[in-house]
Amino acid sequence: MAKIDRDSPVPIYHQLKTLIREQIESGLWRPGDRIPTEDELCRLYGISRSPVRQALKELVYEGVLVRRPGAGTFVNECSPRPGSPDTSIHLMCSDTRWSELLEHVRRAWNAACDHPPVSFQVEVVNHTRFYDLLSAAVGSGTAPDAAMVDCVWVAGLARAGFLYPLEDLNSQWNHSAFGKDLYPAFVSANSYGGKLYGLPVKADISLLWYRKDWFAREGLTPPRDWDDLLDVARHFLQPQVQERYGYAYPLVFPGGTAGGEATVYMLMPFLWSAGGDVLEDGAVVLDSPATVRALRFLRDLVVTHRVAPPDVVRYREDTAFRLFASGKAAMALGGSYEADLIRHTSGWEDGAFEERVGYVLPPAAPGGQPAPTIGGTSYVILRQSSRPQQVMEVFRFATDPAQVGPWYREMLQILPNPSFNRLVSSNGAPLLAWVSEVVSLGRARPSIPDYVKVSRQLQAMFEKTFSDPMPVEALVRRTAEFIAVISEMPCRV
Phi, psi of 415 (to 5 degrees): -85, 150
pLDDT in tens, 294-323: 999 999 999 999 999 999 999 999 999 999
**Residues 319 and 411 grouped into a single domain:** no
Query: What pLDDT does 82 receive?
Result: 45
Which of 23, 55, 75 is the C-terminal boundary of a domain? Answer: 75
The verdict on residue 345 lying in a domain is yes
Between 107 and 471, the more confident residue is 471
pLDDT exceeds cutoff 80 at 189: yes
pLDDT at position 210 is 98
Asked if residue 312 and residue 226 are part of one domain, the reply reads: yes
Out of 46, 75, 104, pick the residue that ends a domain. 75
pLDDT value at residue 427: 57
Tell me the DSSP string of 399-467: T-HHHHHHHHHHTT-B-S-GGGGGG--TTT-HHHHHHHHHGGG-BPPP--TTHHHHHHHHHHHHHHHHH
What are the φ/ψ torsions at residue 178 (nearest 5 degrees)? -60, -45
Residues 219 and 346 in one domain: yes
368 and 385 fall within a common domain: no
Q: What is the length of the chain? A: 493
**Distance between CA atoms of 344 and 288, rounded to whole angstroms?**
41
- The per-residue pLDDT for 51 is 87
Q: Are residues 405 and 417 both part of a single domain?
A: yes
Question: What was the pLDDT predicted at 478?
Answer: 97
pLDDT, residue 296, reads: 98
Q: Is the pLDDT of residue 6 over 90?
A: no
Q: Please choose, from the candidates 439, 442, 483, the residue with its C-alpha nearest in 3D space to the C-alpha of residue 459.
A: 483
Residue 83 pLDDT? 42
Same structural domain, 228 and 346: yes
Q: Is residue 329 part of a domain?
A: yes
In one-letter notation, the amino acid at residue 172 is Q
Contact 423, 401 (CB under 8 A): yes
Mean pLDDT of the residues in the chain: 89
Q: What is the CATH number of the domain that holds 211?
A: 3.40.190.10
| DSSP, res 33 | P
The verdict on residue 161 lying in a domain is yes
- The gap from C-alpha 194 to its chain's centroid, in whole angstroms, comes to 27
Beta bridge partners of 199: 379
DSSP result, 129-177: THHHHHHHHHHTT---SEEEEEGGGHHHHHHTT-B--GGGG-TT--HHH
Which amino acid belongs to residue 400?
D
Last residue of a domain, one of 75, 104, 127: 75
Answer yes or no: is 492 within a domain.
Answer: no
Is pTM beyond 0.75 here?
A: yes
Inside any domain, residue 364: yes
Q: For 436-469, how does the pLDDT look when each residue is reduced to its tens digit (9 = 90+)?
A: 889 888 999 998 999 999 999 999 999 999 999 9
* Eight-state DSSP code of residue 473: H
Task: State pLDDT tens for residues 229-282.
Answer: 999 999 999 999 999 999 999 999 999 999 999 999 999 999 999 999 999 999
My answer on whether 152 and 113 are in the same domain is: yes
The gap from C-alpha 439 to its chain's centroid, in whole angstroms, comes to 15
Cβ–Cβ under 8 Å, residues 458 and 465: no
**What pLDDT score was predicted for residue 457?**
98
Query: Do the Cβ atoms of 493 and 288 come closer than 8 Å?
Result: yes
Q: Is residue 143 part of a domain?
A: yes
Residues 187 and 122 in one domain: yes
Instruction: For the chain, give the percent of residues with pLDDT over 90.
Output: 54
Question: Can you give the pLDDT at residue 127?
Answer: 80
Beta bridge partners of 249: 329
Residues 137 and 190 in one domain: yes
252 and 327 belong to one structural domain:
yes
Identify the bridge partners of residue 283 per DSSP, sorted by sequence position: 280
Mark whether 336 and 452 lie in a shared domain: yes
Q: Is residue 358 part of a domain?
A: yes
Q: Has residue 440 been placed in a domain?
A: no
Q: Using CA atoms, how far apart are residues 2 and 303, in angstroms rounded to an integer?
A: 43
**What's the CA gap between 24 and 32, in Å, rounded?**
11
C-alpha Rg value of the chain to the nearest Å: 23
Give the pLDDT score at 84: 44
Give the per-residue pLDDT at 426. 55
Section 106-116 average pLDDT: 79
Lowest mean pLDDT among 50-54, 375-379, 468-472: 50-54
Tell me the mean pLDDT in the region 332-337.
Answer: 96
**Domain ranges, residue 268:** 204-373+445-487
Sequence-separated (6 or more) residues with CB below 8 Å from residue 401: 408, 415, 417, 419, 420, 423
> Which of the 8 DSSP states describes residue 34?
B
**Number of domains composing the chain:** 3
Confidence class for position 80, pLDDT limits 50, 70, 90: very low
pLDDT in tens, 191-236: 999 899 999 988 999 999 999 999 999 999 999 999 999 999 999 9
Residue 97 predicted with pLDDT over 80: no
Res 241: pLDDT = 97
Beta bridge partners of 196: 191
Given a cut of 70, whether residue 175 has pLDDT beyond it is no
Reference 153, options 389, 392, 382, 367; nearest CA is 382
The predicted structure's pLDDT at residue 424: 65
Q: Phi and psi at residue 283, in whole multiples of 5°? A: -135, 155
Lowest-pLDDT range of 134-138, 215-219, 297-301, 410-414:
410-414
CATH of the domain at 27: 1.10.10.10
Residue 365 has pLDDT above 90, yes or no: yes
For the cut 80, the answer to whether the pLDDT of residue 180 exceeds it is: no
The winner for highest mean pLDDT among 72-76, 121-125, 384-388, 455-459 is 455-459
Other Cβ atoms closer than 10 A to 369? 12
pLDDT for 356: 96
Let me know whether 18 and 152 are in one domain: no
> CA dihedral defined by 37, 39, 40, 45, rounded to 10 degrees?
120
